[in-house]
Amino acid sequence: MREFHRSGDGGDRRGVSRTKERAAVEERQRADDAAARGVEVELRSRRIQEANRLKSEFLANMSHELRTPLNAIIGFTQLIYDGEVGPVEPQQKDFLGDILTSGQHLLKLINDVLDLAKVESGKMEFHAEPVDLAELVREVATILRTTAMKKAIRVETAVDRRSARW
């Protein structure tokens, strides 16, 4: 049987030294990991900024591409509706009114999307303003009328006068 004896405290020093070395290695690893995460965050940030720029560019281009023909549709429909190109039957006038309302609604949506993009980019501030709920409900019901007729659905609306303005 062998017995091991420590001479002095040299063994304790080596253990402490190894512990310090491990701690230093672990600290370097944590620092390297943090630096790698920082680089990754920076790359993601740049990608997000580029995607946002491309989105804004797309919206600006598409708004023009959508609004130009839509304004022509609205304008020509208005001419027919007003009887400028000949007589219009009452039922045709109703349908033309629906086309006008839907076209104007779509144009408003396109403009709202563009305004939202401007708000996001800091070029415009958002200010809440009153809305005529009765008018809004009427417009939505008009837009839904054709779809409801195709499906034999009757649409009825009612707006409480006390809450007609928001």
pLDDT, tens only, 101-126: 999 999 998 888 887 777 776 777 77
Domain membership flag for residue 59: yes
Question: Does the pLDDT of residue 47 top 70, yes or no?
Answer: yes
Instruction: Give the integer Cα–Cα distance in Å for 34 and 29.
Output: 9
Residue range of the domain that includes 46: 10-99
165 pLDDT band, cuts 50/70/90, is low
6 pLDDT band, cuts 50/70/90, is low
Domain membership flag for residue 36: yes
Backbone angles phi, psi at 165, to 5 degrees: -120, 130
DSSP 132: B
Domain membership flag for residue 17: yes
Decide: 68 and 104 in contact? Cβ < 8 Å: no
What is the average per-residue pLDDT within 139-159? 86
Domain membership flag for residue 143: no
N- to C-terminal Cα separation, the chain: 95
Domain membership flag for residue 121: no
Domain membership flag for residue 52: yes
Domain membership flag for residue 134: no
Count the domains in the chain: 1
Domain membership flag for residue 132: no
Q: Which single residue is written with the structure tokens 């940030």?
A: 45
Decide: 96 and 81 in contact? Cβ < 8 Å: yes
Closest CA relative to residue 98, chosen from 52, 49, 148, 50:
148
Instruction: Give the integer Cα–Cα distance in Å for 123 and 116.
Output: 10
Q: What is the pLDDT of residue 133?
A: 86
Bridge-partner residues for 132, per DSSP?
165
